[in-house]
Structure 1
Amino acid sequence: MAGTEHLTVERVGATLVLTLNRPEAKNALSLPMLVGLHDGWLAADEDDTVRSVVLTGAGGTFCSGMDLKTLAGQGAGDDRYRDRLAADPDLHWKAMLRHHRPRKPVIAAVEGHCVAGGTEILQGTDIRIAGRGAVFGLYEVRRGLFPIGGSTVRLPRQIPRTHALEMLLTGRPYPAEEAARIGLIGHVVPDGTALEKALETAELINANGPLAVEAVKASVYETAGLTEADGLKAELDRGWPVFATDDAKEGSRAFAEKRPPVFRRA
């Protein structure tokens, strides 16, 4: 897939790398970027040779949130994308991972600002790696706005409620070390190396059985709101079929033969 002028797509082995590419505007979300993201998530889902996705930003910045011109429908060069938005009014929510959960693991590689809509997209990713100088935060209340990308629902489920409410209600910035301490991100690495670390993590995922990986991810999200008893039942419904796959048999053979497994999604 080609991406758009504000969203570049690159294939690195079995990993699809989506790069927010509007550095002159700190990668503020535009219609071309949202359309590119939407198409990127769908492409990753539909291509069985893609085993993971990395989301990052160009120019040392992840995403500074929604471009207010885009919010007002005035973004330059956006006309060609308006028909896409008109045809699917949820396109921007899917792009921001509010109304769509990719079946492949998504790793965020964050440098610089990851605020407002950037922090909202972040909550839709699975593994999060940030450079030491990265900054996070939900700034919407500072502008009299509401973080409608899902943060009032997701954030208290991902980090302790007291930290979620502080982030939501104060609108203050959070340095990477603090974001890691409260559980918003998983790794803090030297500046400029977040993408490298993300690709290393993706390679570890890509080496595993793709059917198993996708089933594990699905089970984690499907059971999140269930009681323990219901969650354990749902886990069996999701997990048992994996044991009957050819990939599971290949994994056992490869272990016995002391060789890397060759998984075929079967």
Structure 2
Amino acid sequence: MGGTEHLTVRREGATLVLTLNRPEAKNALSISMLVGLYDGWIEADEDDGVRSIVLTGAGGAFCAGMDLKALAGQGMAGEHLRDRLKADPDLHWKAMLRHHRPRKPVIAAVEGYCVAGGTEILQGTDIRVAGESATFGLFEVRRGLFPIGGSTVRLQRQIPRTHALEMLLTGRPYSAREAADIGLVGHVVADGGALDKALEIAEQINACGPLAVEAVKASVYESAELTETDGLAAELKRGWPIFDTADAKEGARAFAEKRAPDYKRA
């Protein structure tokens, strides 16, 4: 199991929990964090025992985005891993889920700050839970910067365009309740409860057929930009093969026998 000084990895049953772990900087991005994130996504993709992923942050924060001190020339934490970035110039975008989509469902458990790059990473996750006091926002324009992690493309596809433009152009903070109202997050829970709720959702996913879950996720994203006709055709290509799997037969048997299914990913 991987991990770095700023990204911890642990297993909770069939769930891989990735924790952004730089609390003294509100989990601002570092080279160590980006490398750890990338390795975590790949580990989840390659391990058939992992059925879901939870992404969270340590110390009561999710991610405060880019390290502005590093941007100002003061150096970014994790310089000893810079060779990983040189070997794969796209690694940081894959880590932030801009250029990589894990095939397993990703659930974000947000407490505290989830701003700038944190809100950009959030848009690459599938299901989102926030503590009551969580704060969201794309602050880049306030610093004369551009939210280049994908927000000008993705945000308007995930929430109504008028809300996306307001968030992008004002750079103001959003409360968890406001984020839920515009559809950026799906659940708001008591502070400190986001991880537990995310793990609860993960367990519900883990109890389902893994081949079916991954095919459903792939179909949703694959068809998002297609016409309805093309999307329905693509859905059949994804969906029909699932009915021929041993897991599909096991699901039907388990229902008939009134027991929990034992899926083998076959």
Given the two structures, how large is their TM-score scaled by the length of structure 2? 0.98
Equivalent-residue separation in structure 2 for 1:181 and 1:78 (angstroms)? 37
Residue 176 of structure 2 corresponds to residue 182 of structure 1 = no
1:114 partner SS? strand
Code of the residue aligned with 1:193 in structure 2: it is G
How many Å separate the matches in 1 of 2:173 and 2:47? 37
Q: Does 1:253 align with 2:253?
A: yes
CA separation in 1, counterparts of 2:237 and 2:44? 25
Matched, 1:122 2:122: yes
The percentage of counterpart residues that share the same residue type is 81
Give the TM-score normalised by the residue count of structure 1.
0.98
Q: 1:258 to 1:190 in 2, by over 3 A?
A: same
Cα distance in 1 between the residues matched to 2:258 and 2:252: 10
Match of 1:198 in 2: 198
Counterpart position of 2:150? 150
Q: 1:123 corresponds to which letter in structure 2? A: Q
Are 2:67 and 2:76, in contact at CA under 8 Å, matched by a contact in 1? no
Give, in whole Å, the separation in 1 of the partners of 2:254 and 2:216. Answer: 21
Corresponding letter in the other structure for 1:243 = F
User: Deviation at 1:68?
Assistant: 2.4
Compute the RMSD of aligned alpha carbons.
1.0
Q: Does residue 2 of structure 1 match 2:2?
A: yes
Q: Is the 8 A contact 1:31 1:70 kept in 2?
A: no
Inter-partner Cα distance in structure 1 for 2:240 and 2:83: 43
Aligned-residue offset at 1:127: 0.2
SS in 1 for 2:19: strand
Contact 2:2/2:39, CA 8 A, preserved across alignment: no
Does the 8 A contact of 2:115 with 2:138 survive in 1?
yes
The answer as to whether partners of 2:98 and 2:124 remain within 8 angstroms in 1 is yes
Aligned to 1:140: 140
Q: Residue 203 of structure 1: CA displacement?
A: 0.2
Q: CA deviation at 1:80?
A: 1.7
- CA-to-partner distance for each residue in 1:39-67, whole Å, 9 max, x for gaps? 00000000000000000000000000011
Q: Partner of 2:183: helix, strand, or coil?
A: coil
Q: Counterpart of 2:232?
A: 232
Provide structure 2 residue ranges, at least 5 long, that are not aligned to the other structure: none
Aligned to 1:221: 221
Q: 2:105 aligns to what?
A: 105
In 2, distance between residues paired with 1:9 and 1:218? Answer: 25
CA distance in 2, matches of 1:215, 1:67: 36
Structure 1: runs of 5 or more not aligned: none
Cα distance in 2 for partners of 1:144, 1:70 equals: 16
Give yes or no for contact 2:62–2:118 (8 Å, CA) kept in 1.
yes
Residue 41 of structure 2 corresponds to residue 49 of structure 1: no
Query: Relative to 1, partners in 2 of residues 1:212 and 1:72: Cα closer, same or farther, differing over 3 Å?
Result: farther
Q: Deviations over 1:94-132 (max 9, x none)?
A: 000000000000000000000000000000000000000
Secondary structure, counterpart of 1:5 in structure 2: coil
Q: Which residue of 1 aligns with 2:75?
A: 75
- Do 1:31 and 1:75's aligned partners in 2 also have CA atoms closer than 8 Å? no
Q: How far apart, in 2, do the equivalents of 1:139 and 1:110 lie?
A: 17
Secondary structure at 2:212's aligned position in 1? helix
**Distance verdict in 2 for CA 1:260–1:32, change over 3 Å:** same
How many residues end up aligned between the 2 structures? 266
Deviation, structure 1 residue 183: 0.2
Q: Does 1:161 align with 2:156?
A: no
Alignment-derived partner of residue 244 in structure 2 = 244
1:98–1:149 contact (8 Å) kept in structure 2: yes
Q: Distance in 2 between matches of 1:220 and 1:104?
A: 13
